[in-house]
Amino acid sequence: MYRNNRSAFRKAFHLLYPDISQHPTAQVWYERLNYGKEEIDWGFRNEWFLVIILSILAGLVAKIPAFTGITEDFFYPRNIAFIVFPLLIAYFAWKQNSKLKKLVSVSIVVIASVFYINLLPDKLHSDTLILACLHLPLFLWFVLGYTYVGKDIRDHQKRLDFLKYNGDLVVITSLILAAGGLLTGITLGLFSLIDLEIEEFYFRNIAIWGIAASPIVGTYLVQNNPHLVGKVSPVIARVFTPLVLATLVIYLGAVIYTGKDPYNDREFLLVFNLLLVGVLAIIFFAVAETSQNAAGRAGRILLFALSAVTIIINGIALSAIVFRLSAWGITPNRLAVLGSNILILINLLMVTYRLFRSITQPGEIDRVIRSITGFLPVYGVWFMVVTFGFPFLFLFQ
């Protein structure tokens, strides 16, 4: 059971331990699970070879414009997702020992996506092309999640582990990139002292490989060393939840004070929707990093308050987009934003209701998790519709 799902085993064991602590076997497992491992586990040689190969491939994909002469303006908006996601999918397919049928189906989806996005008409100011380019990384993220969960795609704990992995990956990749930025600054400074200007060469031939490889190396470190960020991510979730809540409340007050109007200001509405997506991600991250015991009643109240405020923001954004649809008609952008806002509102209402119940009934936190993980496939279907359906629905407008 431990080897099949370590995080679920840990959670279940710690819940049961007070009742079985007198058993020697339970005491041995308690010491094993709570052993303070300080050193970094570098894994096995074959996995290291795989990570090195995938990192090299990521750099090669990122350098395709330099190798082929394809313009960067054409390549990167369409293909930036393929620098990382297919290689992470390959890593987890190997890690999960996926069956041939699943490997073939996922490979077909990725290859078809490559051809599809690159064969779309290269029309300037095409709304559907921009929407496809924006939603394709989200669709590939969903395919990555499908690969991550392994054999049982209905396993809510594995889906939760995937969300936690995303949060941990953001933390560790940010640290890697920060360290890489520091090394870059030192390197360029040293060479400038001897009158060698290597900025262009460095960024085109070294930095781009490091940036492309960082999520893959970060994934490897997170998977083999969960203790690296296992204690950091929950702290970040606890610290940022009240800060984000306070910021949102102040921001809404400032919007009212300044008289900003999302109904007629397109740019402001766009920022409003980006804010909504960002806060939703923070809520998911906070719930994923919060166990029933770790959160406490105060933590659940904060999450409930944050979700409630986010519903208000969603309601404002949704009413604004409905107003713009009724006033100026249907466009691909408006329909995409409308669909996203409706899905987010439904999911937020489910999560907020469960969080409200969890304030008095701590056991409801599991239902909160299920209301998040159970809704992930709905987002995946929507990403697929916008990416592959909208260009044909609107005739590549």
Is the pLDDT assigned to residue 365 strictly greater than 80?
A: no
Task: Read off the pLDDT of residues 143-153 as tens digits, 9 standing for 90 and up.
Answer: 999 999 877 77
Amino acid 118: pLDDT:
92
Torsion angle (degrees, nearest 10) of CA 165, 225, 287, 281? -40
Which of 133, 144, 145 is closest to 80 using CA atoms? 133
Could you tell me how far CA 274 lies from the centroid of its own chain? 14
Tell me the pLDDT band of 43, cut-offs 50, 70 and 90.
low
Amino acid 295: pLDDT:
54
Cα–Cα distance measured from residue 238 to residue 221, given in angstroms and rounded to the nearest whole number:
23
Ranked by mean pLDDT, the top range of 204-213, 276-285, 362-371 is 204-213
Higher per-residue confidence, 327 vs 115: 115
Could you tell me how far CA 35 lies from the centroid of its own chain? 30
Average pLDDT over residues 358-366: 76
Measured N-to-C along each axis, helices 332-360 and 266-288 cross at an angle, to the nearest 10 degrees, of 40
Ranked by mean pLDDT, the top range of 9-18, 29-38, 190-199 is 190-199
Is the pLDDT assigned to residue 223 strictly greater than 70?
A: yes
Higher per-residue confidence, 75 vs 241: 75
Is the pLDDT assigned to residue 178 strictly greater than 90?
A: yes
Mean pLDDT over each residue of the chain, to the nearest integer: 84
Amino acid 200: pLDDT:
84
Residue 135 C-beta-side C-alpha neighbours within 13 Å: 25
Is the pLDDT assigned to residue 173 strictly greater than 60?
A: yes
Tell me the pLDDT band of 61, cut-offs 50, 70 and 90.
very high
Residue 366 C-beta-side C-alpha neighbours within 13 Å: 6
Amino acid 290: pLDDT:
63
Tell me the pLDDT band of 292, cut-offs 50, 70 and 90.
very low
The model carries a pTM of 0.83
Tell me the pLDDT band of 116, cut-offs 50, 70 and 90.
very high
Is the pLDDT assigned to residue 181 strictly greater than 80?
A: yes
| Per-residue three-class SS string for the chain | CCCCCHHHHHHHHHHHHHHHCCCHHHHHHHHHHCCCCCCCCCCCHHHHHHHHHHHHHHHHHHCHHHHHCCCHHHHHHHHHHHHCHHHHHHHHHHHCCCCHHHHHHHHHHHHHHHHHHHHCCCCCCCHHHHHHHHHHHHHHHHHHHHHHCCCCCCCHHHHHHHHHHHHHHHHHHHHHHHHHHHHHHHHHHHHHHCCCCCHHHHHHHHHHHHHHHHHHHHHHHHHHCCHHHHCHHHHHHHHHHHHHHHHHHHHHHHHHHHCCCCCCCHHHHHHHHHHHHHHHHHHHHHHHCCCHHHHHHHHHHHHHHHHHHHHHHHHHHHHHHHHHHHHHCCCHHHHHHHHHHHHHHHHHHHHHHHHHHHHHCHHHHHHHHHHHHCCHHHHHHHHHHHHHHHHHHCCCC
| Largest interatomic CA distance in the chain | 71
Q: Say which residues have a Cβ less than 8 Å from residue 263's Cβ, sequence separation at least 6.
A: 269, 319, 320, 323, 324
Token pair in block for residue 306: 């944050």
Average pLDDT over residues 234-255: 82
Average pLDDT over residues 236-249: 82
Tell me the pLDDT band of 37, cut-offs 50, 70 and 90.
low
Which of 340, 392, 391 is closest to 129 using CA atoms? 391
- In sign, the C-alpha dihedral spanning 7, 12, 14, 15 is positive
Q: Say which residues have a Cβ less than 8 Å from residue 347's Cβ, sequence separation at least 6.
A: 280, 371, 372, 375, 378
Average pLDDT over residues 32-56: 77
Q: Say which residues have a Cβ less than 8 Å from residue 123's Cβ, sequence separation at least 6.
A: 129, 396
| Cβ 282 vs Cβ 236: under 8 Å | no
Average pLDDT over residues 357-366: 77
Higher per-residue confidence, 255 vs 63: 63
Tell me the pLDDT band of 294, cut-offs 50, 70 and 90.
very low
Q: Which residue has the tokens 């293909």?
A: 79
Tell me the pLDDT band of 89, cut-offs 50, 70 and 90.
very high
Amino acid 388: pLDDT:
94
Is the pLDDT assigned to residue 82 strictly greater than 90?
A: yes
Cα–Cα distance measured from residue 128 to residue 396, given in angstroms and rounded to the nearest whole number:
6
Q: Minimum mean pLDDT among 59-63, 97-101, 251-255, 363-367: which range?
A: 363-367
Amino acid 140: pLDDT:
95
Amino acid 386: pLDDT:
93
Percent of the residues in the chain that have a pLDDT greater than 70, as a whole number? 94
